[in-house]
Amino acid sequence: MSKYDDLEATARKTLKSLEDAKSQKECAEYRPVIFNPETIIELIEIAKAAENMLLSTNRWEQQTLALRLAKLLGNPGIYATSEPEPPEAA
């Protein structure tokens, strides 16, 4: 299970507990969540797809963006072991 899957599972559990609390009226007052778990799940899915798409290319600029995305998400994986070399350095 990757770090992305862990984040996605946590976001889904949070969303479910918020929906349960609203439907069962366990809380005295329901307030809309500013940090929406559905948005987080969607962002994680977009990040997964973007990282895979960027890493599947040979273009240095795209691989650099993928590396930055992976570092930002806290899941550098094997691609973050070294910086990609610019085309003129290769």
Q: Which residue has the higher pLDDT, 64 or 27?
A: 64
pLDDT at res. 80: 46
**In this structure, which amino acid lies at residue 28?**
A
Percent of the chain with pLDDT over 90: 0
| CA–CA separation, 83 and 60 (whole Å) | 10
Residue with tokens 């005295």: 28
Q: State pLDDT tens for residues 20-48.
A: 666 655 555 555 556 667 777 777 777 77
Span between the terminal Cα atoms of the chain, in Å: 35
DSSP 8-state assignment for residue 73: T
| CA–CA separation, 11 and 8 (whole Å) | 5
pLDDT at res. 58: 73
Q: Exposed, middle or buried by CB within 10 Å (0-12, 13-18, 19+), for 29?
A: exposed
pTM: 0.36
